[in-house]
Amino acid sequence: MPPEPGRIYTFYSYKGGTGRSMVLANFAWIMAASGKRVLAIDWDLEAPGLHRYFRPFLTDPDLFETDGLIDAFWSLAASLANKHPDKSGAAALDDDAESAIDDTKRRLTWKYFPKGGSIDFVGAGRQGAPYNYNERANTFDWKRFYDLGGAEKLTAMKTQLKMGYDWVLIDSRTGVSDTAGICTMQLPDAVVACFTLNRQSIEGVRAVLSSIRAYRSKSVDGSKIEFFPLATRIENAERDRLEIARKYARESLLEFLPAKFSPTKNPAANPREYWDKMELAYRPAYAFEEILAAFGDATGASGAADTMLSQVEAMAQCITDDDSLRMPDILEADRAGVLATYALGPSDGLKIKQVREADGGAGDTDFLRGVLAKEQLWRNSKFFWRNLLSRRELDLITDEDRLSFGRNMAYYYANSARLYRFLNSIFYASVILLFPLSLIIIITLASMLESAGKSAALVLLTMLILLGLLIIFVLVGSAIMYRSGNRPEGMRRGDVFLLLLLAPFRTSEPHDYEAAEQRDLRHTASSRKRT
Amino acid sequence: MPGKYLSCFFKDLESKLAQWAGINLSDTKLGTIDSRVDHSHDWDTELSRGLSENRAFLAIITPLYFKRPNCGKELAAFVQRSPGLGIDPNGALIGVQNLMVLRWLPEDAYAANGVRNSLIPPILRRIEDTPADDGGDDERSRAIERYRKKGMEKCVTVEPHYGELLDLFAACIRDMQVLPPPNGRIDFATAPDAFRSDWINYIGAVGASGGPVPQEAPATPQKLSSIVAFYVTRRPFTTAPIAVNFADRLIAEPLPGASTSIDDGLAALLADVRVAGVAETLTVFHAAADPVLPASPDSLVKRLEPLSSKGIVTTLIIDPDIWPGLRGAGDATVEQILRSLDWTGPALVPAVDDRVTELEKLVAARGLRRQVAVLPQPSEERVAKLRSAFVGARGGALRASVKPAPGAERVPLPSGVARERG
């Protein structure tokens, strides 16, 4: 079966300095950490900078040795210029388009994305003074490129990219330039429009979104385009003025909200639900170095915490309409190492060394990375049973690990889709079996009471028999279930026994494990020690 | 020193081999690379040890590789470990064991005047530089094809091709037989330069002929992806044995160690022009008129004009002995060529003395509207200047030569703010 085509989302801002590249980089990271194939393209050819956010993960962090988008377009232009009039097949165009972009893609070297997750990066072009980046970018005439038939190339490229990736994220040029037009009008399935709370930014975004909508309504393919306005650099210092600006922005951009949140398209919609997730506060700590929130904030600062990480997560959840998205846990040793690479000044090598030593050796570190990656897959695949931890992993995890992860393995079991089917079968089995069992117990009890009177010893004996029967039933049932093919991977015999007892009390649907009580955690983890 | 991608490739290849062999790289290193030789260590000793003891030699070739004596010495030292080493009548080494040649740059980088592989010295022409493709895996076939066309640099960290190629190269090395101990000591310091040695006399025996090396057909200049540089010079050069219809003749680039009559300065300039062109993904043709400085400007302009009008980047490289000269006959002819509006492209003058440093003033004084630039003498600066000139010329070619395709779409432009709302 062919893979489902991906989506192209362009991140745009009318004015610079809105944090557009930062938003894109963080969104890319979250999606890759959810097991998605992501391509991030720096199309801001006049002021490229997206690579700064991926610096620790690029083999050539400054792009002094790496060709980029502008080089790909020169190659495409040459290919178009030399196209023989009789040999202008769509297939040839597709090959050229794919090859040109392929030459510039570089995979980020972070190894701890879960299986399937990756970020490929296309920079703007080879940087550095001797390489004439500015001249290569400025001498490329987009109008002439279109005259050569460049629009057709771009369409071919769009199709190729969507087949190769789940998410293609484009960092667009600001303003109303030709490259901004290509990025926002021709290519995307959706535009994430970043703006700050001032008139020029809001009005600019509004005007551009209007023109995109008008263009797409007239375009031949008639494909729909979505918009996600995103308020950035929110400064809480002047509350009164902030409220006025916020109200102005929300009213101005109301018509561009997704249908789910737009009162004009959906009378039951509440725009506030949208804006609650689509605001990013200004945080001075992020102003000096281009740091991903996954590393800038500890993972403990996610969820309800008021941090960049939590806001980025909320933004990603809103854009993807997937509330299970989370930034992945990252080991403190890895985080310290990455932050040192981001640092403008000298890095604190001693601190990194200490953290790594405290981590307990490379073997454990790698093991924990694997567990964290699985956790991320588990959460983002709606608790799919395949992503349960293996028996070995369960055995190796200590109570402290569980506490530091904030995760409860038993809770994972109780929420897995496979387990639900498993529990359903247990439930029906118990209904079928309990009826005759209950009849036998009642008949036995009644006959005993009738023949021997109501002595306390007899009642106690009867109760013991009842309990014994119940235990035998559960033991037999759990043994059968434990051996059945439906048992979720990694589940132990004791867990099956407990779950069989608790089957009638299961929740109606899977819910967020974050709500698990710490007492459950300690209770279920106490018997497992790292070997 | 190796670049970022080369270092990355070396480490990844070493890790792969170590993983297969069950070796922990934190305890030992498998490979030898110059960046690992510390300042306090003896360079010759370290390299000699690697050349004597390592199982395989990986020659990462670029056109510059063949010009570096140290690269030639390393190669010569290692190939002497092959017991069956020989050389065929065409000068190609045969019977070489455990030598893996790996192309780092795109295939155009090894071409001069559009002839593929013409910059690869004869001694390496029988050494396979592409992994074998058994055709059993489409992904692998695509990876090999990409490597063949684009070179290894453009494959590093480009997935899934990179993983496939790493596996292939690592498997080649793993499967190599262990070479017998070398006869005598392998010494880097005293080794000859492989690219400048008389191998037939050195080896003392001629091996079996593998037949003549096939001569590649030259490519023709392409729009926006080729540059034709016309040289106006009195320095001696060798004419390439290729007939083309866009120039009277092409100038041959000399191979290392080959006897040639070309002036050293001109040979270096040809190499720099080619390097700059390849860096901007342009195929370079070194062209010349016959005679080199025609008596009338028209004959050269007639060569330049059709190329320019087709969108092929053109440039004129003028020796300062000829222009800006002493107002002789040649001076006037060149100025007429420069003033001509029938062709586009820059004129470049290599700096050899103070005269050319005043070129900008001279151009302004004589009212020349063409871009005329001085090429500095240091090779690195000269290449940078050439690249800049080529990029500008290519931009001009794009703007000047394109006719809109029928029904071509226009660039979509977003609208700005029409008027401010209340």
Instruction: Please spell the DSSP secondary structure of B167-187, one letter per residue.
Output: HHHHHHHHTSPPPPPPSS---
Q: Is the pLDDT of residue B318 over 70?
A: yes
Q: Please, how many CA atoms are within 13 Å of residue B203, restricted to the half-sphere of its CB?
A: 26
Q: How far apart, in whole angstroms, are the C-alpha atoms of residue A473 and residue B65?
A: 78
* Angle between helix B161-174 and helix B138-150 axes, rounded to 10 deg: 90
Kindly state the average pLDDT of the residues B276-294. 89
Instruction: State the residue for tokens 């102005």.
Output: A248
User: Which residues in chain A are contacts of B151 at CB distance < 8 A?
Assistant: none
- The whole-number average pLDDT for the span B82-93 is 84
Tokens of B99: 């030598």
Strand bridging mode B93-94 / B283-288: unpaired
> Taking CB atoms and an 8 Å cutoff, what residues of chain A touch B380?
130
CA–CA separation, A435 vs A245, rounded Å? 67
**Residue B375, SS3 per DSSP:** strand
Of B146, B399, B408, the CB nearest to A141: B399
**B316 DSSP β-pair partners:** B230, B347
How far apart (Å, rounded) are the C-alpha atoms in residues B62 and B278? 12
* Residue B205 burial (C-beta neighbours within 10 Å; 0-12, 13-18, 19+): exposed
- CB-based contact A169:A27 (threshold 8 Å): yes
Enter the ipTM. Answer: 0.87
The SS3 call for residue B200 is helix
> What pLDDT is attached to residue B365?
77
Domain boundaries, chain A: 7-320, 332-408, 414-525
Q: Which of B3, B387, B420 sits opposite A132 (nearest CB)?
A: B387
Whether the Cβ atoms of residue A315 and residue A23 lie closer than 8 Å to each other: yes
How close B410 comes to chain A (CA, Å)?
6
Q: How close B299 comes to chain A (CA, Å)? A: 27
Provide the token pair at B80. 């002497």
d(CA A260, CA A322): 13
Phi, psi dihedrals of residue B59, rounded to the nearest 5°: -95, 105
**B323 or B269, which is more confident?**
B269
CB neighbour class for A234 (10 Å; exposed up to 12, middle 13-18, buried from 19): middle
Chain A residues with CB-CB distance to B158 below 8 A? 102, 105-107
DSSP letters for A153-198:
HHHHHHHHHHHH-SEEEEE--STT-HHHHIIIIIS-SEEEEEE-SS
Q: Cα(A441)–Cα(A444) distance, rounded to whole angstroms?
A: 5
Rounded Cα gap, residues A119 and A514, in angstroms: 27
Interchain proximity B413–A106, CB inside 8 Å: no
Which residue in B has a C-alpha nearest to residue A209's C-alpha? Answer: B414
Location of structure tokens 């006897």: B259
- Distance (Å) from the alpha carbon of B64 to chain A's nearest alpha carbon: 17
Per CB-CB distance under 8 Å, the chain B contacts of A149 are: 405, 408
Q: B420–A199: do the CB atoms touch at under 8 Å?
A: yes
Percent of chain B with pLDDT over 70: 90
Task: Check CB contact under 8 Å for A151 and B408.
Answer: yes
CA B288 to chain centre: 20
A406 Cβ contact partners less than 8 Å away, ≥ 6 residues apart: A300, A514
Chain B residues inside the 8 Å CB shell of A206 = 417
Provide the sign of the torsion angle of the four alpha carbons A370, A371, A375, A381, taken in this order: positive
| A248, burial (CB in 10 Å: exposed 0-12, middle 13-18, buried 19+) | middle
Confirm if A40 and A28 have CB atoms less than 8 A apart. Answer: yes
Does the domain spanning B226-400 belong to CATH 3.10.350.10?
no
HSE, side-chain direction, 13 A CA sphere, residue A236 = 7
pLDDT at A518 (0 to 100): 39
Indicate yes or no: CB of A147 within 8 angstroms of CB of B394.
Answer: no
Contact B411, A143 (CB under 8 A): yes
- Domain spans of chain B? 4-203, 226-400
Report the C-alpha gap between A297 and B241 in whole angstroms: 66
The predicted pLDDT at position B227 comes to 94
Distances B219 to B242, B244, B245, B305 between C-alpha atoms, Å: 11, 10, 12, 20
Element holding B329 (H helix, E strand)? helix B329-339
Best A98, A113, A148, A220 member to test B by mutation, with max B CBs in 10 Å, is A148
Yes or no: domain A7-320 corresponds to CATH 3.40.50.300: yes
Partner residue facing A130 (CB), from B281, B384, B420: B384
The CA distance from A366 to B176, in Å, is 33
The pLDDT mean for chain B works out to 83
Chain B residue closest in CA terms to A105 = B158
- Which residue from B minimizes the CA distance to A199? B420
Beta-strand pair B283-288/B226-232: parallel
Starting at the edge strand found earlier in the chain, the sheet holding A226-234 runs: A105-107, A118-122, A37-42, A167-171, A7-13, A190-195, A226-234, A279-281
In this structure, are residues B117 and B92 in contact, taking their beta carbons and an 8 Å threshold?
A: no
pTM, rounded to two decimals = 0.78
Across the interface, of B8, B223, B412, the residue whose CB is closest to A82 is B223
Q: What is the pLDDT of residue A299?
A: 67
3-state secondary structure (DSSP) of residue B82: coil
Q: Tokens at residue B168, please?
A: 């292939």
CB atoms within 10 A of CB A181: 24
* Residue of A83, A104, A146, A247 to mutate, interface with B, max B Cβ within 10 Å: A146
Work out the number of other CB atoms within 10 angstroms of the CB of residue A486: 14
DSSP structural state of residue B115: B
Token pair of A69, please? 């988008």
Name the closest residue on chain B to residue A102, using Cα atoms: B158
Check B388 against A109: CB less than 8 A apart: no
Of B279, B404, B415, Cβ closest to residue A147: B404
Between chains, do B224 and A74 touch, taking CB under 8 Å as contact? yes
Cα(B204)–Cα(B190) distance, rounded to whole angstroms?
19
- How far away is chain B from the Cα of A431, in angstroms, using its nearest Cα? 53
Is the Cβ–Cβ distance between A137 and A46 less than 8 Å? yes
* Chain A hits for B157, Cβ within 8 Å: 59, 106-107, 109
**Residue A307's Cα: distance from chain center in Å?**
17
For residues B315 and B228, give the distance between their C-alpha atoms in angstroms, rounded to a whole number.
Answer: 6
- Residue B154 with chain A: CB contacts under 8 Å: 67, 103
Q: Which residues pair with A174 in a beta bridge?
A: none
- What is the nearest CA distance from B418 to chain A, expressed in angstroms? 8
CB contact under 8 A, A139 and B413: no
Cis omega (within 30 of 0) on the bond before B320?
A: no
Cα gap B122→B418, rounded to integer Å:
67
B32: closest CA of chain A, how far (Å): 21
Q: Considering only CA atoms, which of B28, B32, B37 is closest in space to residue B52? A: B32
Of A474-478, B176-180, B192-196, B343-347, the one with minimum mean pLDDT is: A474-478
Name every chain A residue with its beta carbon within 8 A of the beta carbon of B409: 146, 151-152
Q: How near does any CA of chain A get to the CA of B69, in Å?
A: 25
Residue A304 CB-density burial (10 A; 0-12 exposed, 13-18 middle, 19+ buried): exposed
Spatial separation of the C-alpha atoms in residues A236 and A245, rounded to whole Å: 12
Cα gap A301→A285, rounded to integer Å: 14
- Give the Cα separation of A119 and A164 in Å (integer): 12
Cβ pair A78:B391 closer than 8 A: no
The answer to whether B420 contacts A203, with C-beta atoms less than 8 Å apart, is yes
Report how many Cβ contacts below 8 Å link chain A to chain B: 147
Cα distance from B101 to chain A (closest Cα, Å)?
22
Q: What are the mean pLDDT values of chain A's consecutive 10-residue runs (531 residues total)?
A: 79 92 94 92 94 92 91 90 61 62 90 88 86 87 89 88 94 91 92 94 94 82 84 88 93 92 86 92 86 82 75 92 81 83 63 52 59 66 55 61 48 55 69 70 72 67 77 79 66 70 54 38 40 34
Q: How many CB atoms lie within 10 A of CB B367?
A: 8
Looking up tokens 């590093």 gives B156
Backbone angles phi, psi at A190, to 5 degrees: -155, 155
Mutation target vs B (from A75, A103, A174; most B CBs, 10 A cutoff) = A103
For residue A209, give every residue at least 6 positions away whose Cβ sits within 8 Å of its Cβ, in sequence order, or none: A191, A193, A227, A229, A253, A256
At A56 the three-state DSSP class reads: helix
How far apart are alpha carbons B221 and B284 in whole angstroms? 8
Q: What would you report as the CA-atom Rg of chain A, rounded to the nearest whole angstrom?
A: 29
Which residues touch B381 (CB under 8 Å, ≥6 apart)? none
Phi, psi of A260 (to 5 degrees): -60, -30
Burial of B345 (0-12, 13-18, 19+ CB in 10 A): buried
Under DSSP, the state recorded for A131 is G
DSSP B248-290: SEEBPPPPTT------HHHHHHHHHHHHHHHHTT-EEEEEE-S
Distance CA B44, CA A373 (A): 47
Closest CB to A65 among B4, B404, B405: B4
Q: What average pLDDT does this structure show over B393-400? A: 88
